[in-house]
Amino acid sequence: MKLWNIELKMTVPNAMSLFRVALVPVFAVLYLKGYLWPSLAVLVLSGLTDLFDGMVARRFHQISDLGKLLDPIADKLTQVTVVICVAVKIPALIPLVVLLFCKELGQAVGGLLLLRRGEKMQGARWWGKVATFVFYVVMGVLMLFSESLAPWLRTALSLLVGAWLLFAFVRYLVLFFKLERQAPSTEKTSPEQASPKDISAQPVSDQPKKEGTL
């Protein structure tokens, strides 16, 4: 079964990505109800699952286009949920919520456009991985020490995350437009559009006979 040229084949790494999606509401409920350490444990479990699904996929040759789609979806849902939940308790992070939402929405739209055109899904790039790492480290610090951190330090940390998110978004935009320019043409040349050179290259039996010839 295929959807947008993606084979819907369930593998262990894909199941782990779906498990990470299922952990998103669990984290949100625990954190918003004040269960800080259990919610952090859920985030750690999600991060370990993210790490091991890639290792399993590479080790057992189970890398798939579906996995390349599910993995970033799980990442995006987790990141957006985390920053929204933390912003509920630290309203100064609302601009970061808007930036992250715009970034993920733009990347999602670009990815869908590439899929509809038949492009293969690309794996995460180094700048995206660094931005994700910085995001989770800062969110963890804010979750643990939000009440003891000075306002200027919270602002500096949110600016650090915002700068990396913006950098990663710009790099993905550059990559998207590069793929757009390199799009292969799928149209075949019709007989009416064939040049004289194309016609002369046809077998003699297929070429039209001139008047007066045998």
Number of domains present in the structure of the chain: 1
Q: Is residue 214 part of a domain?
A: no
* CATH code of the domain in which 194 resides: 1.20.120.1760
The predicted structure's pLDDT at residue 9: 66
pLDDT by residue (tens digit) across 20-55? 999 999 999 999 999 999 999 999 999 899 888 777
pTM of the predicted model as reported, rounded to 2 decimal places: 0.73
For residue 69, the enclosing domain spans 2-206
pLDDT by residue (tens digit) across 110-126? 777 776 776 655 556 77
Q: Is residue 213 part of a domain?
A: no
- CA 22/CA 19 separation, integer angstroms: 5
Give residue 198's pLDDT band: very low, low, confident or very high (50, 70, 90): very low
Q: Is residue 80 part of a domain?
A: yes
- Specify whether the CB–CB gap between 115 and 5 falls below 8 A: yes
Q: Is residue 212 part of a domain?
A: no
Closest CA to 168 of 138, 129, 115, 113: 129
